[in-house]
Structure 1
C-alpha cells in the first residue's frame, strides 16, 4: 500500500543550508523509490489558516517510507531543513484502490451505536 511523507513547512528565508537540503534530498529518496508528488507549489487555501507550503513524497509502502526517514543519508541532511524551516512532518499510509468512505462511516456509526 502506498505511503506518503507529508510536511507542512512554514515560511522561511532561503539560505545556503536550505538550498543544500533541496539539492541533496532526491539522492536520499532514490534507494527507497520515493518521489515528489507535491514540492515547491503554492497552496490554494480553502479553509482555515495555512501559512507556508506543503511537500508530499510518495513511497511504494510504509516500510520504505520509514526506512528512508531513518536512513543515515537522510538523517545527515535533515538538520539543514529543521534548523531553518519550522514545520511538521508525518508519514501516513494511503487507502486501497476502491476505498469507499461510506463504509468507514458505517463502521464508525456501528461502533458509536448511532
Structure 2
C-alpha cells in the first residue's frame, strides 16, 4: 500500500548553503526506493486553524520502502543539512487502499464505542 513521508517545516531561515546542498542531493536518495515528491512547499491556503511553515509530501510504493529510504545511509548522511537549520516535524504514514470509504471507519468506531461499558449514572 502506498505510504508517504510528510514533513512540516517551520522557522525556515531562508536559503542556507546546507539546505541548498540537501535539496541538490535528496533526489538521489529517493530513487532507489521509488520515492517521488508530491508536494514541496508552495502556496498554501489554510482553511482551518493555523499552519506556520511549509509542507513536503513524498510518496513511496509501500511503508517498507519509505522506512528503508529514511533509514538509509545516503539519506541519514544528508539529513543534518536540513535539520540543523530548519525546525521540522517529519513522519511516515500509510495511505488508504482502493475502495476505501470513511463510512466503514465510522462503523468500526461506532461498534467500539457501543462495546465500551457505560459510565454509572450520577445520583
TM-score (norm 1): 0.97
Give the ranges of 4+ consecutive aligned residues of structure 1 lying more than 3 Å apart after TM superposition: none
Cα distance in structure 2, aligned partners of 1:99 and 1:112: 21
**Partner in structure 2 of residue 10 of structure 1:** 10
Q: Which residue of 2 aligns with 1:81?
A: 82
Greater Rg over alpha carbons, structure? 2
Counterpart in the other structure of 2:98: 97
Q: Find the counterpart in structure 2 of residue 41 from structure 1.
A: 42
Deviation sequence 1:31-59 (CA, Å, 0-9, x none): 00000000131211111110010000000
In structure 1, C-alpha distance between the alignment counterparts of 2:45 and 2:74, rounded to whole Å: 33
Q: How many residues end up aligned between the 2 structures? A: 114
In 2: Cα distance, 1:47 partner to 1:20 partner? 34
* Residue number in structure 1 paired with 2:24: 23
Q: Are the counterparts in 2 of residues 41 and 53 from structure 1 also a CA contact under 8 Å?
A: yes
Structure 2: gaps (5+ residues): 116-123
Q: Secondary structure, in 3 states, of the residue corresponding to 2:90? A: strand
Unpaired runs of 5+ residues, structure 1, are none
